[in-house]
Amino acid sequence: MGDAPTISRKKFKSVLRLSLLLLLPMTISGCWDQDEVNHVGFIIAAGIDSTQEDMVHLTIQVFIPNPTSGGPDEGGGEGRLFTYMCSGKSIPDALSSLQNKLPRTLSWDHTKLFIFGEKLATLGLKDDLDFLFRDVESREQANFLICKGTAEKLLNSLDDPNTYDTLIRIGEMPSVNAYNMNYVEESISGESGSFVLPIADTMSLSSSKTTRTVLTVKGTAVIKDAKLIGIINDQKNKGLQLGFQWLHQTSLSRNLTITLKQDGGKITAKLVRRKLKLLPSIRDGVWRIKIRLKLDADIVQNSSSIDLLTPADSLRALETRFNDEIEKYLLQTLDEVQTNMNADVIGFARTFHKIYPRQWKKVSGDWDSVFQKIEVTMDVNCTLRKPGIADIKM
């Protein structure tokens, strides 16, 4: 045991030599990708528009901390979100010309929202999406939105002092959350290539007699082959909008209500749980799909004459009425999707691919025409759970 120290000394020397060797490449690499947080301008939101032929117009909202504007206790403050605009043949072109003028490194690390203008989206998002997927090292949770008009106008119209906070929070909304970079990547490379994105819009809020414009989300944009093919707005068609929400597989939103007119009053149910299942079948060359939608809902309003608290199972009777109502919305949506737009945004292609891989391979080149011919049946089964606490007839 007496020679143990000499062995470890040898070992120590070899470890020392090895670590010195490992240190050397570090010195030649330098710290070129080092970026202190206070040398960085974080792009919180980016709006992408197309102005003229082959030109991209980029509007970015950059967070630049301004420590003198307030103490450490102050949360959001005015004058910390700066809007920059630049144009170029492509986004990187536009960015590099902007970067040359700025002392801070622009960073995509915390970009929350990518907003595409209507015109650009109609022309095609391919070029810009490729850049965003390839080079931008933002989180994949960054949300993608389409806006009516130009994104520049939308971003510039926001005059709420808490804009940066709103921009961060809006991505956390259930109706926006699911439509992130990961979703777009998956959908574009997926079977159908069609997907939906939420539409960004502005909303006026008044607080202490001043009116502020804040960002909000209204409606759904349908994208096929990276091109905007249709916008479904609340005003235009409420039922269609609702149908999209029911049918969207990844949407986490539970904030869905449905109102019936029945027995001289209104009955409103609020969604609690939702289970969507697509059951494909191919028989005799006919492609069929069954949409099975299971819903749990609570009654939140009932001004009709039906007494929901009596032992007589009036809730069960109501369920069929709700089933019919929901089915009506769904059929309307499917008609729009299948016949008018011919965009498989619900994911029929993926379902068939999973269960009938060989048959799907044969038709995958001609999916659009197959999709239009798919026979859809509905199986909506909604369960009403709670009738509410009190039922006072007025």
CA 180 from chain centre, in angstroms, equals: 4
Query: Which is nearest to 253 in space by CA: 270, 236, 230?
Result: 270
Residue 348 makes contact with other proteins by CB under 8 A? no
Nearer to other proteins, 171 or 243 (CB): 171
129 Cβ contact partners less than 8 Å away, ≥ 6 residues apart: 184, 188, 226
Q: How far is CA 392 from CA 175, 300, 303, 387, in A?
A: 34, 13, 9, 12
Hey, what are 79's tokens?
């004058």
Q: Which of 137, 210, 373, 389 binds other proteins (CB under 8 A)?
A: 137
Diameter of the chain by CA atoms?
99
As a whole number of angstroms, the distance between CA 305 and CA 325 comes to 19
Q: Which of 83, 90, 138, 237 binds other proteins (CB under 8 A)?
A: 138
Q: Least separation, in Å, of the C-beta of 109 and other proteins?
A: 4
Q: Least separation, in Å, of the C-beta of 130 and other proteins?
A: 20
Hey, what are 157's tokens?
């119209």
3-state class (DSSP) for residue 143: strand
Q: Least separation, in Å, of the C-beta of 266 and other proteins?
A: 40
Torsion of CA 55, 59, 65, 66, to 10 degrees: 110
Query: Which is nearest to 173 in space by CA: 109, 110, 113, 231?
Result: 113
264 phi-psi bin (left φ>0, alpha ψ -120 to 50, beta other): left
Q: What residues between 265 and 304 interact with other proteins by CB under 8 A? A: none
Query: Which is nearest to 133 in space by CA: 174, 199, 183, 169?
Result: 183
Size, binding site for other proteins by CB under 8 A? 38
As a whole number of angstroms, the distance between CA 151 and CA 52 comes to 15
Nearer to other proteins, 33 or 366 (CB): 33
Q: Least separation, in Å, of the C-beta of 145 and other proteins?
A: 17
Other beta carbons less than 10 A from residue 322's beta carbon = 22
Nearer to other proteins, 137 or 366 (CB): 137
Q: What residues between 228 and 257 interact with other proteins by CB under 8 A? A: none
Q: Which of 65, 149, 174, 388 binds other proteins (CB under 8 A)?
A: 65
Nearer to other proteins, 124 or 161 (CB): 161
The 96-135 site mask, x for binding other proteins (CB under 8 A), equals -----------x-xx-x-----------------------
With b for 16 or more beta-carbon neighbours within 10 A and e for fewer, the 335-361 pattern comes to ebbbeebebbbbbbbbbbbeebeebbe
Q: What residues between 147 and 206 interact with other proteins by CB under 8 A? A: 164-165, 168
Q: Least separation, in Å, of the C-beta of 6 and other proteins?
A: 11
Nearer to other proteins, 164 or 244 (CB): 164
Q: Least separation, in Å, of the C-beta of 268 and other proteins?
A: 35
Nearer to other proteins, 41 or 198 (CB): 41
Q: Least separation, in Å, of the C-beta of 139 and other proteins?
A: 6
Q: Least separation, in Å, of the C-beta of 366 and other proteins?
A: 41
CA angle 137, 120, 174 (to 5 degrees): 60
Q: What residues between 4 and 63 interact with other proteins by CB under 8 A? A: 4-5, 8-9, 11-12, 15, 19, 22, 26, 29, 31, 33-38, 40, 42, 44, 63
Binding positions for other proteins, rule: CB under 8 A: 1-2, 4-5, 8-9, 11-12, 15, 19, 22, 26, 29, 31, 33-38, 40, 42, 44, 63, 65-67, 72, 107, 109-110, 112, 137-139, 164-165, 168
